[in-house]
Amino acid sequence: MTGVFFRYHTYELAQRLGVRGWVRNNPDGRVEAIFEGKKEAVDRMLNFCHRGPLGARVADVEVRWEPHRGKFSGFEIRYG
């Protein structure tokens, strides 16, 4: 299977919703992300993560809520 561009689609949705934070691939194949923004927008990001883009197979989504820190100015794809 070729890549499904999970990070790219996450980035695009975050840009549209005004969500800040980052997304990255982990060496074990998991995708990790931090989302900051209005609750409705973060909820939409989480809904996307549960299904992923076309062709993705999402086995599990772990969510950990933390207090808003306001430390991100935008949303980025992280590498490595």
pTM of the model: 0.90
Which CATH entry fits the domain spanning 6-78: 3.30.70.100, 3.40.50.460, 3.40.1010.10, 3.40.50.2300? 3.30.70.100
47 part of the active site: no
What does the alpha-carbon distance between residue 67 and residue 70 come to, in Å, rounded to a whole number? Answer: 9
Residue tagged active-site, from 20, 24, 25, 78: 25
pLDDT of 10 reads 97
pLDDT at res. 3: 59
Q: Which residues, in sequence order, are CB contacts of 42 under 8 Å at separation 6+?
A: 19, 35, 36
Told to judge if 7 belongs to the known catalytic residues of this protein, a careful annotator would answer yes
Which residue of the set 7, 16, 24, 47 is catalytic? 7
Look at residue 4 in the predicted model and tell me its pLDDT.
Answer: 73
**Ordered mean pLDDT values, 10 residues apiece, the chain (80 residues):** 78 98 92 96 97 90 93 93
